[in-house]
Amino acid sequence: MRNHVLLVLLLISLILSGCYNPLPDPPANVQSGTVVGTAEDSMSGLPLWEGKASLGGQSVQISNGSFQFKDVAPGTYTLSISTQFYKPWQQKVVVGKSETALTAKLTPIFSSAELDLFARLVHAEAKGESYEGQVAVAATVLNRLLHPDYPDTLSGVINHVVVSGGRRYYQYEPVLNGAIKTPANETAKNAVADALAGWDPSRGATGFFAPKKVGANSWVWSRTPTITIGNHRFFK
């Protein structure tokens, strides 16, 4: 016990005399690095408007195709990216003391046949509209896919038929009259790609109609409008 007391007194004496200096704390983040990247559609090359990127316990939002992780300790990590309508993406990333840059190419969850059907619908419904108007039409189809009132597959949404009062009501006129069988042009295909990547000019709409062609008594007039683009009025 006496030895312990003497040791404490000696330590106090050294501190007071200036002969003892504890080691300073190491500078913060001396060994850290930064990970920056872009997320894009593997087929069109378009940047994905939104999504989530995760790395080493951190998660950040993707904005206009870009994401960034700061103050990452050197090491090997698994980078994961997820966003609507695309297959989850993962890749091993080696982080050093500087900046690590990469590009993540995500693949849509839809088959080539589904995307072709999608583009044919947009072509049939909006081939006379502006490019923005065609993207808006495509976006409403994807918005229906996310809505609980509609089928949960792309082909199911496009071919959706409602039976009421013994009558069958097609959700899309081109499916009823066969116009959907016409091959899509490149503009419609590009519009589908832009909608998939996250551009939604319809402002979250789940439907659209041409006011000049719809009677005043139609139920669509009671729906909440979001925007009018060209000849189409979009609604929720």
CA angle (223, 202, 214) in 5-degree steps: 45
Tokens 């003892």 correspond to 20
- As a dihedral over the C-alpha atoms of residue 103, residue 71, residue 97, residue 31, rounded to 10 degrees, the angle is -160
Check if the beta carbon of residue 11 is closer than 8 Å to that of residue 20: yes
Report the pLDDT value the prediction gives residue 152, as an integer from 0 to 100.
95
- Determine, yes or no, domain membership for 51: yes
Q: Express as a percent the part of the chain with pLDDT over 90.
A: 83
Spatial CA neighbour of 176 closest among 159, 154, 151, 189 = 159
Say yes or no: 231 and 134 in one domain.
yes
One domain, residues 124 and 227: yes
Q: What is the dihedral of CA 52, 54, 59, 62, to 10 degrees?
A: -30
Q: Which helix (H) or strand (E) holds 99?
A: strand 99-106
Residues 80 and 151 occupy one common structural domain: no
Contact 180, 117 (CB under 8 A): yes
Are 92 and 156 within one domain? no
Is 202 within the bounds of a domain? yes
Shared-domain flag, residues 92 and 124: no
pLDDT of residue 4: 52
pLDDT band for 31, please (50, 70, 90 cuts): confident
Helix axis angle, 186-197 relative to 131-146, nearest 10°? 50
Q: Left if phi > 0, otherwise alpha if psi is -120 to 50, otherwise beta: which for 183?
A: beta
Q: Is residue 26 part of a domain?
A: no
Of the three residues 46, 73, 106, the one that is the final residue of a domain is 106
Residue-wise pLDDT for 177-213, tens only, equals 999 999 999 999 999 999 999 999 999 999 999 999 9
Q: Can you give the pLDDT at residue 13?
A: 55
56: domain range? 33-106
